Structure 1
Amino acid sequence: MPSSSIRTTSSLDTTRRTTRLTSRVSAFNPQVTLFEAAELEDQALPDSSSSPRRSKRVKVEVKTETDSHIPDLEDLKYVPKTRTPRKTPKKEEKQLYTLQTSAVKAEASTSSTATPTPRKRKKADVASPKKPKAVPQALAIPHPEPPNWRETYSAIKEMRTRFVAPVDTMGCQQAQVAEKDPKNRRYATLVSLMLSSQTKDEITNAAVDNLRAALGGSITIEGMIAADDAVIQKAIAKVGFWSKKTTYLKQAAIKLRDEFDSDVPDTADKLCSLPGVGPKMAFLALQIAWNQNDGIGVDVHVHRITNLLGWHKPPTKTPEQTRLNLQSWLPKELYGDINHMLVGFGQVICVPVSPRCDVCELSVKGLCPSARVVNSKKRKAIVFTEVKESPPKIEITMEEETEEKKFIPPPSPSRPQPT
């Protein structure tokens, strides 16, 4: 059995005593080992000034002695095994890290007495009023005027007088009919335009009627702000993107109340600053609500048909490109008619799928480069109204009797005329 020595140091003594432990087998039980302590010698401690540090720990030195003693079996069995630390699972590591960081933050917030350094304000935190972006009105290089556009325009306009399209009876201009207050008439027009995006006129018109009933019989800005989102969503549930449009309607109503005196603005730039309002809606709202033809409202029909007619070289890819091209050469007095005319033409004759080129006069006159041969036997017939020539107007004027020209009755046939 190896012997060990223990060195103890007192903070008051200047000498160091060394004690050695010796082991021996018990005389009564050979399986028991006895330990005895024996002081060897005292050694002077070094000076405290020269010692870098003092330690109060008990140091144990184990020395192996070469003797013929056989260690006990229990000593051989008691061998401490070094175990590798168990790896913490990733989930537990994350939880432990979260607890540690939260504890450190809580401790720092409670223990710190110094004034915290001010946080740098981000750009998003600074509330700066945003100026509405100006809607472009002209191209740097105007688009050339397409050939034969006047003849084509006149032919489409003549065809539009012979049938009734959905836009004629259920378009956005019909939303203001049921309103009496001028502000409400303008606002109802704007609401109808916001709902018409990616939606047919029939569904838009029904949604406007449902929304008017849900808001108490009139579409007002105050009623839109006070209404719950669920009420608005139920009224416009059949229009496209109804959830997003509900948010736009609420946000736009709040902005109209706070910035525009609860009325629809009269410029395209201010209208486009409203959530969910683009150039097409802005120019149509100005035409219907304020009777201003400041630009062309280009929707999918106008964009598609003008490209089919070859009015854009090269073909435009977006409605905004189509609008700028048209505004560069189309006379301004036609800005208010082209949208309504082409939308109805696209709803009945020049439909997106299987257009009715068989009944289109542009195909007969050779004015449409995209015309094709269509089999109309299995197609539903289009009901055209007959255009009758109005009889000539007869104007009757009576001359006043003067002294120079008096009325002389005709001679009676029974009396002979004087010679």
Structure 2
Amino acid sequence: MCSPRDSGLSMAAVRMMTRSRGPGAAPRRGGEEAAPLQRREAAAEGKKSPSLAKHQRKTQKLKVAYEAPGHEKGESHKALEALGWEPRDWRQQLENIRTMRSGKDAPVDWLGVEHCHDPSAPPKVQRYQVLLSLMLSSQTKDQVTAGAMQRLRTHGLTVDSILQTDDTTLGSLIYPVGFWRSKVKYIKQTSAILQQRYGGDIPASVAELVALPGVGPKMAHLAMAVAWGTVSGIAVDTHVHRIANRLRWTRTTTTSPEKTRAALEEWLPRELWGEINGLLVGFGQQTCLPLRPRCGVCLNRTLCPTAQSPEPLTPAPAP
């Protein structure tokens, strides 16, 4: 062991080194520099060094990625609440409608799109006939649509036969469906597209169907269900739109069938999407009529918000 004398250090120097490091201080590693005086003084006074304080200030400014600002948190919370929303008493209302519709004797049950095509025709021709019956059904009663489809089938209802039919003849075959002149044009245009792009068949997706002239979302979803056996969404016509709003099956009043479809699909279980159109259409044809609903015979008369409102719709006269 080297003594102070051997190392060339004076005892005074040794004492100065000992005092500067403090009692019990561990020896420094080789090459380690002494902390600056300001840092030692700040530490002695319990203060943070400027560099550490600066680092912490920067850290405090950082935001966690998944912590949204206040207004975004509110929107997210509302979205989560919307996912759990459902109409009051809707299950009982639905069951009551099923009971009232158990007879399956509304016009839609025997004149609807499922019954207008030729079941003996090749599958591709059947699908084409389903699509045409849907195009004719817009703004038209089922009885009128069924009559027009029967005349078309007698004439010959394939893509080729329709394209070979002049507009005047086609118009006389589908008259008096609603907007029959426009439908003559749409049927011709759509038939030409089907022949050119799909080999005489109809598209197998909603996006392609609604791209066809004269085909809307309701028709597309029904075509997917009837022609392709695929439930792609809720088909909402004027009956479904009206009844959904009367029963308050939408969070807010909707102003169009397409908005009603979106509102229903937010909460209605998907396994019911295929059933709801035919169920409510027949209910709207027989009981929940557009202008004078038959509230007196409706099983939902005590559950329907519209029937219980201070200004209910004018009921139909007693039979």
1:346 and 1:261 mapped to 2: Cα distance? Answer: 38
Question: Match of 1:128?
Answer: none
Contact 1:293 1:335 in 2 (8 A): yes
Which residue in the other structure is 1:368 paired with? Answer: 304
CA contact (8 A) 2:292 2:316 kept: no
Deviations 1:177-219 (A, max 9, x none): 454210111111000000000000000000001111223xxx1
Deviations 1:92-119 (A, max 9, x none): xxxxxxxxxxxxxxxxxxxxxxxxxxxx
Q: Does 1:214 align with 2:155?
A: yes
In the other structure, the counterpart of 1:403 is none
Instruction: Give the structure 1 partner of residue 208 of structure 2.
Output: 270
| CA displacement at 1:331 relative to structure 2 | 1.0
**Equivalent residue, structure 2, for 1:350:** 288
Q: Which runs of 5+ in 1 are unaligned?
A: 1-139, 380-419
Establish whether residue 190 from structure 1 lines up as the match of residue 131 from structure 2: yes
Equivalent-residue separation in structure 1 for 2:268 and 2:248 (angstroms)? 15
Q: CA–CA distance in 2 between the matches of 1:245 and 1:339?
A: 23
Per the normalisation by structure 2, the TM-score is 0.71
Q: Distance in 2 between matches of 1:265 and 1:224?
A: 18
Specify the code of the residue in structure 2 equivalent to 1:368.
C
Shift of 1:146: 1.2
SS at match of 1:164: coil
1:6-405 equivalences in 2 (<5 Å): 141=79, 142=82, 144-162=85-103, 164-215=105-156, 219-363=157-301, 366-371=302-307, 372=312, 374=315, 376-377=317-318, 379=319
Amino acid at match of 1:189: V
Q: 1:330 to 1:258 in 2, by over 3 A?
A: same
DSSP 3-state at the match of 2:300? helix
Distance in 2 between residues matched to 1:343 and 1:329, nearest whole Å: 20
Q: Give me the identity figure in percent.
A: 44
- 1:245 & 1:163 partners in 2: Cα distance? 30
Greater strand content: 1
Structure 2 gaps of 5+ residues are: 1-77
The residue identity in structure 2 corresponding to 1:336 is G
Alpha-carbon offset, residue 368 of structure 1: 0.3
8 A Cα contact 1:214 1:231, kept in partner: no
Deviation by residue 1:68-96 (Cα, 9 ceiling, x = unmatched): xxxxxxxxxxxxxxxxxxxxxxxxxxxxx
Equivalent-residue separation in structure 2 for 1:375 and 1:351 (angstroms): 9
Higher helix share: 2
Instruction: Please report how far the alpha carbon of residue 176 of structure 1 lies from its aligned counterpart in structure 2 after TM superposition.
Output: 2.0
Q: Does 1 or 2 have the higher relative contact order (CA < 8 Å, sep 6+)?
A: 2
Q: With structure 1 as the length reference, what TM-score do the two structures score?
A: 0.54
CA RMSD of the aligned region, Å? 1.6
